Amino acid sequence: MGVTWSNEAGLHLTAGGKSLEYAAWGPKPADAPTLVLLHEGLGSVALWRDFPQALVDATGFGVLAYSRAGYGASDPVDLPRPLDYMTQEALHSVGDVLDAAGIEHAVLLGHSDGATIATIYGGSVSDMRVRSLILMAPHYFTEPMGLAAIKAAGDAYASGGLKEKLAKYHTNVDVAFNGWHGAWTDPKFEAWNVGDSIDHLRIPVLAIQGRDDPYGTLAQINEIETRIYSPVETAILDNCGHAPHLDQPHATLDAIREFCARLDRIEREVVQIA
């Protein structure tokens, strides 16, 4: 393993030609499966808050979180981001992260953009290390209400104090925000659709969605259920917005705990050959 397995500040690994900040909790990859956290469109390692340790406590798995290029204390990226930036991230960075961290048995756990990236990776890259996906508030196509919410975030960033809040978590806050906001508000992005990535999944999936998510409706979960060929479980949470792990932490952790326990039990079963 080429990284220090610790949640201390200031750790970096190299992936996709960029220096990315990361932190790790719980058992090392050689000792247990690893939940690899892929953050939302404005997220970072720090913005996961206490969720990584809660995952360790709930599942017994290790946890690795990293800030994608352009976020947190990771290297910046050039703007504007390409409109297929999530696909590019999946194809050119995720595998490098797994390599750098020495991860042998991974569950990709993504939130929002991170859930989409996890799906694209799982459906596009043949990687036997990735045994399953946990997708919180994923999106595979644009919806009018979601685009309206993103446009409103631009107003909050310009004059509503959002920039100051995000600056606590991103070294290059304008790069982090404008890279995300610029892509989603580009008129050409309205036609964006990566639902075909679901068609190629052959690993178990847990999808978690809040009923009150302002960025996406249950149509996103229906897209998974109607297109997937592998086992899928869903947890639709009441009184929950775009961040299930923050809005409904107990229900979210319960769903993840049960999913990971079943996955681990199945993988540990000894197959009798007659």
User: CATH number for the 12-268 domain, one of 3.40.630.30, 3.40.50.1820, 3.90.1580.10, 1.10.357.10?
Assistant: 3.40.50.1820
Q: CA dist 259 to 38, 139, 205, 234, 254, Å? A: 18, 21, 9, 10, 9
**One-character DSSP codes across 187-247:** GGGGG-B-THHHHT--S-EEEEEETT-SS--THHHHHHHHH--S-EEEEEESS--S-HHHH
Can you give the pLDDT at residue 163? 96
Can you give the pLDDT at residue 267? 81
Name residues whose C-beta falls within 8 Å of residue 158's C-beta, 6 or more positions apart in sequence. Answer: none
Reported as a single tens digit per residue, the pLDDT across 193-204 is 999 999 999 999
Can you give the pLDDT at residue 35? 98
Can you give the pLDDT at residue 274? 55
The total of other beta-carbon atoms located within 10 Å of residue 187's CB is: 6
Q: How far apart are CA 265 and CA 119, in angstroms?
A: 23
Q: How far apart are CA 60 and CA 110, in angstroms?
A: 18
Can you give the pLDDT at residue 270? 54
Q: Tell me the pTM.
A: 0.96
Per the CB < 8 A criterion, the answer to whether 244 and 137 are in contact is yes
Hey, what are 210's tokens? 């809040």
Q: Which residues of the chain have pLDDT under 50?
A: none
Q: DSSP 3-state assignment of 248?
A: coil
